[in-house]
Structure formats: C-alpha cells, structure tokens
C-alpha cells in the first residue's frame, strides 16, 4: 500500500510535465501575470479608445493588469502581425478592426498574417458608421460643397485617414468611385493624429468613426457633413446621410466600421471563452452602453462562433468592393 502511494506521488509531477504547455498554462491563467492588449493604431483613435476603456475594467475582474500597447502602421497590419506571432497563452490579445481583419488582406500583396487563420475571435465590441468632417472654419458646409470644390482643385481635396486600407480610406475610395470625383488620400498612423490635422486645417477633410469624431463635433471643433449609415444617427440627428445628398450614384452609399478583439490562433478555448464572457459583461454594463451609444456605436452580443462567421463574410464583401473599385496600394 505504501509502495502504491509512493508510485502515485512520484508519477504526479511526471503526468503534469507530460501535459501540453497550453493546458498547464490554462490551469493557472492568468495568475497575476500582465496581459498585453495590442492596439495596431496610434493613441487617440477608435481602437485605442475602446481598448483602454475595456482594459481598465478587464484587469481587476481577472485579478491582473491589462496593459494597452500601441504598435501602429500599415492600416493596423504591423501590430496585427506582432500579435499573430505572439505565444498563444492568453497573455496577448489584439484590438482588431475592419481594416486589419477584413480589408487589408485584399489590399496588401505581402501581408504578414492571415486575418482568419492567424487569429481566434474573442468578441465583437460593436459596429459604427463613419462621419465626413471638416474643420469648424472650413468653407464647406455640405457634401455637395466638398464634391464641387474637389472637382475644381488639381488632385482634388485632401482627405486624411487612420492609414491605408482602413475604413476611413475605403470610404473615401467608395465616394470617389461612386461620384466620379478625385481626392488626394493622406494616410496617418491612426485617427488621433489625422483628426488633429483636420481640425488644424492642414488637411481638408476626413471620414472618421463616430467614436473619434463625435466629441470634436459636439465641442464645435469639427463640422459634420454626412454619415455613412443608411439612417441618421441618434447621436448626430442633424447630420444627413450620404444617401440623402441627392447626388447621382450615392443613393446606396453605406460604410460600417467595426471593432473586435482577437487572440493568436492556438490560444486555449477555455481562456478565449473566459475573456469573451468577462468582456461581454463589461460591454453590457449601463455605463459602457451609454458610452458606446454617445459615440454612435451599436454594441454587439455575438458569440465567438458568430464573430468568426461575420468576419469571413466581411473579408469576402470588401474583396469584392476593392476589386470593383480598383483600389490599389503599394506594399
């Protein structure tokens, strides 16, 4: 009997050692170790804003610290590549977007990751349209004014974006394609610096998410000309849709951006589901719901499987748009 107990005692560490590293890590996760929340854009943009709101609340419920790290560049591709190569142990998550995880794969010929195969969806935070904005002292008071002015200017009016391949960039390309009017695209490494230059008058205009633009519109620093949704937004009731402009070819214009959170492929499912549950609880709180609504964002309640299906459909949709509009980038 004593010999049997001794054998069991000796065997226990051997059995534990034989378990896959992911399983051993999962049993102790997160054990107080810092979780890195990678944001593939500069500070001040939509992904950064939402990431910080969620990280502040996620850390305490997990009994650890969640640190937001900004790794900007190439429309979210650089930071996404870093996340794709991270250990799938639950200590790296990524703020993924319509650009990094749906659009860029059809734009960049040498993308360093696969938006579907390299990641496991944790949650879809929500969706939101874009809003076309100009500086408060801009001479342009409507979308029609912008189109008329751009026709007369060599190269067209300048329009900022959070980077090549972002929803802001694709909204501009769609406007140019459907209206037949040329613009000059000015890409930045995130919405934060881009919208600052629009407010300062260095760039003529910008499509940006309502999350970033709404506070500046409400403070009077920006003038909103049109939203890219089919219906007007409760948060910006006086701003017409692009479709309401009455301009030929723009009646069905619609661009909806989205924000999600991903983990590197191979992250244990139990960890993914725990993260999904905790983040879903955070998003469902009255305070977060009010914040998202004030930003013009519709919160999501999709499961991880539903997010995966949604993302695949988005990849296919934007591949078709990019091909039809003949959008091309270098790189």
pLDDT in tens, 237-291: 999 999 999 899 999 999 999 999 999 999 999 999 999 999 999 999 999 999 9
Provide, for the chain, the percentages of residues in helix, strand and coil under a 3-state DSSP scheme, each rounded to the nearest 5: 45, 20, 35
- The CA-based angle 132-313-79, given to 5 degrees, is 65
Give the CATH architecture of domain 129-256: 3-Layer(aba) Sandwich (3.40)
> Which residues lie below 8 Å from residue 277, measured CB to CB, with a gap of 6+?
none
pLDDT at 27: 63
Report pLDDT for 4: 46
Q: What is the pLDDT of residue 330?
A: 54
pLDDT score for 181: 96
Half-sphere exposure at residue 270, Cβ-oriented, CA atoms within 13 angstroms = 9
Give the model's pLDDT for residue 258: 95
The owner of tokens 């909204």 is: 171
Nearest partner of 311 among 31, 93, 121, 50, judged by Cα:
121
Q: Whole-angstrom distance between the N-terminal and C-terminal Cα of the chain? A: 69
Q: What are phi and psi of 203, to 5 degrees?
A: -130, 145
Q: What is the pTM of this model?
A: 0.81
Q: How far apart are CA 262 and CA 265, in angstroms?
A: 9
Domain 2-127+258-325: give its CATH code: 3.40.190.150
2-127+258-325 against 129-256: fold identical = yes
**What are the residue boundaries of the structural domains of the chain, listed by start?**
2-127+258-325, 129-256
- pLDDT < 50 regions, the chain: 1-19, 21-25, 331
pLDDT at 10: 44
The total of other beta-carbon atoms located within 10 Å of residue 16's CB is 11
Question: How far apart are alpha carbons 80 and 124 in whole angstroms?
Answer: 16
């Amino acid at each position: 009997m004593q010999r049997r107990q001794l054998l069991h005692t000796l065997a226990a560490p051997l059995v534990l050692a034989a378990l896959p590293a992911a399983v051993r890590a999962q049993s102790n996760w997160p054990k107080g170790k810092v979780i890195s929340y990678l944001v593939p854009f500069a500070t001040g943009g939509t992904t950064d804003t939402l990431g910080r709101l969620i990280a502040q609340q996620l850390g305490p419920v997990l009994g650890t610290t969640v640190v937001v790290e900004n790794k900007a560049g190439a429309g979210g591709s650089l930071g996404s590549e870093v996340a794709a190569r991270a250990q799938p142990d639950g200590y790296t998550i990524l703020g993924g977007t319509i650009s990094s995880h749906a659009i860029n794969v059809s734009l960049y010929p040498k993308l360093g990751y696969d938006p579907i195969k390299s990641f496991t969806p944790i949650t879809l935070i929500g969706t939101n349209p874009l809003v076309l904005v100009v500086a408060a002292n801009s001479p342009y008071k409507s979308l029609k004014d912008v189109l008329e002015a751009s026709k007369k200017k060599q190269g067209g009016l300048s329009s900022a974006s959070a980077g090549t391949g972002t929803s802001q960039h694709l909204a501009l390309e769609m406007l140019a394609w459907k209206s037949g009017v040329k613009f000059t695209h000015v890409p930045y490494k995130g919405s934060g610096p881009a919208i600052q230059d629009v407010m300062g008058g260095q760039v003529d205009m910008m499509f940006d998410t309502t999350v970033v633009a709404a506070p500046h519109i409400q403070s009077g620093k920006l003038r909103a000309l049109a939203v890219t949704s089919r219906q007007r937004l409760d948060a910006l009731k006086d701003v017409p849709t692009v479709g309401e402009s009455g301009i030929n070819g723009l009646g069905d214009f619609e661009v909806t951006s989205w924000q999600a959170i991903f983990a590197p492929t191979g992250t244990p499912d139990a960890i993914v589901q725990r993260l999904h549950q905790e983040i879903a609880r955070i998003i469902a709180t009255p305070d977060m719901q009010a914040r998202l609504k004030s930003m013009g964002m519709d919160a999501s309640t999709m499961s991880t499987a539903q997010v995966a299906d949604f993302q695949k459909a988005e990849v296919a949709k934007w591949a078709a748009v990019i091909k039809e509009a003949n959008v091309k980038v270098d790189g």
